[in-house]
Amino acid sequence: MKTDAIAQIGESGVLARSDFAKLLSTLQDEGYAVVGPTIRGGAVVYAEIDDESELPIGWTDEQEAGTYRLKRSGVALFGYVAGAQSWKPNLFQPQRTLWTARGNADGFVIEAVAEDMPRQAFLGVRACELKAISIQDHVLADPANPESDYVARRQESFIVAVNCAKAGATCFCVSMDAGPGVEAGYDLALTELIDDVRHDFLVEIGSPRGASIAARLPLTTASGGDIDAAEAVVSETAAGMGRTLNTVGLKSLLQDNPDHAQWDDVAARCLSCGNCTFACPTCFCHSTEDVTTIDGEVAERQQRWDSCFSLDFSYIRGGAVRPGVASRYRQWMTHKLANWFDQFGESGCVGCGRCITWCPSGIDITAEAAAIRDSLRED
């Protein structure tokens, strides 16, 4: 049943699998570069895609601590769990030039670098990733001190969220109250509905921009059965979480135990490579460095992601404040799960599991927290 009335915020419609390509073409017609999941280097990554054939159709992933493998499974477009990298690089650039200074007889002039802002449509944003974007908003889009490039990219971005149909072994979004169902912050939200007789998408409208795109899609009215089926997808995923993190009293558990022996224990396994911070969708730390041309005429101020795991990160005259790996791991985990509440009123973790999957030595943030908790339990 074709209707043309499904264009209000909060309304839902059904998009047939055979019409999915129209979602991409409609976004492209609106001037958006569609950034979506695709397979590169043996992993699902988010990159600009031209058409649906580039999606990881019929692929899923197996994730464990220090392990990631793709494998064939079914026909789903969004059957994988979480991409190797979040949407962070698309909003908060890993490296960019802030400004350029040119020397002259008078001294120097500073020119702001004006970049063409990409109009991006993110296809397949998961609930944990949506929460992570909201968390980064509170840091980088703070009206008092905005990260100007982030704010501009964020304003231009269209978000097509997807409810997770499968939980990975390193997922714990339920513990962090960050998924697996998307709740807010999207323009359109999809739930992939697959059974023996159908392959459709329930499309929920979350914003005026989303409504204007939805109005141009061949949506049919969603029945109560469609909505129930979508809810069942989310609840089954929630029941399949691979990991849990007990957050009760976690803030004080970490803040009150900076000298716990577990920090030395994890330091013996941690390579301080910084993978967890770069894979983390909320880690925001960055650095600046000046790059000067060899003739000394032009100096660029560059900003790039940084990691609290590097020795240089805390360097002041006299040496690094955190020379030990134990103190660096403690800084990262305590910041993420505890200090973030003092700074921004929320946790800095969304339970996406990337820090566990992409740690080369398989360190598991949920296990580290549990180890500290268990050691303090009164028997």
| Residue from 3, 155, 223, 375 in contact with another protein (CB under 8 A) | 155
Looking up tokens 């803040």 gives: 255
244, 228, 266, 270: which is closest to 366 by C-alpha? Answer: 244
The residue whose two tokens read 């073409």 is 25
Of the two residues 176 and 338, which places its CB atom closer to another protein in the complex? 338
Shortest Å, Cβ 9 to another protein = 15
* DSSP 8-state secondary structure symbol assigned to residue 338: I
User: With binding defined as CB under 8 A, does residue 331 bind another protein?
Assistant: yes
When asked if residue 314 is in the footprint of another protein (CB under 8 A), the reply is yes
Part in contact with another protein (CB under 8 A); list of ranges 50-58, 97-105, 166-174, 370-378: 97-105
Q: How far apart are the C-alpha atoms of 215 and 230, rounded to whole Å? A: 21
Q: Does 33 sit near another protein (CB under 8 A)?
A: no
By the 8 A CB rule, do 161 and 196 touch?
no
Residue pointed to by tokens 């074709």: 2
| Interface with another protein, residue 112, by CB under 8 A | yes
Cβ atoms within 10 A of the Cβ of 327, count?
Answer: 18
**In this chain, which of 41, 143, 224, 345 binds another protein, going by CB under 8 A?**
143
Rank residues 197 and 316 by Cβ distance to another protein and give the closer one.
316
Record the tokens describing residue 99, joined without a space.
């400004």
Phi, psi of 368 (to 5 degrees): -65, -45
- Near another protein by CB under 8 A: residue from 292, 360, 361, 376: 292
**Residue 76 or 369: which CB sits closer to another protein?**
369
Of 38 and 314, which has the nearer Cβ to another protein?
A: 314
Any contact of residue 343 with another protein (CB under 8 A)? yes
How many angstroms separate the CA atoms of 143 and 128, rounded? Answer: 24
Q: Does 261 bind another protein (CB under 8 A)?
A: no
| Stretch touching another protein by CB under 8 A, among 71-79, 81-89, 170-178, 324-332 | 324-332
Contact 220, 1 (CB under 8 A): yes
Distance of CA 315 to the CA centre of its chain: 29
Task: Using alpha carbons only, give the angle 47, 176, 257 rounded to the nearest 5 degrees.
Answer: 115
Applying CB under 8 A, the residues found at the interface with another protein are: 98-99, 101, 103, 106-110, 112, 137, 139-143, 145-148, 151-152, 154-155, 255, 258-259, 284-290, 292, 296, 299, 301, 303, 306, 308, 313-317, 321-324, 326-327, 331, 335, 338-339, 341-343
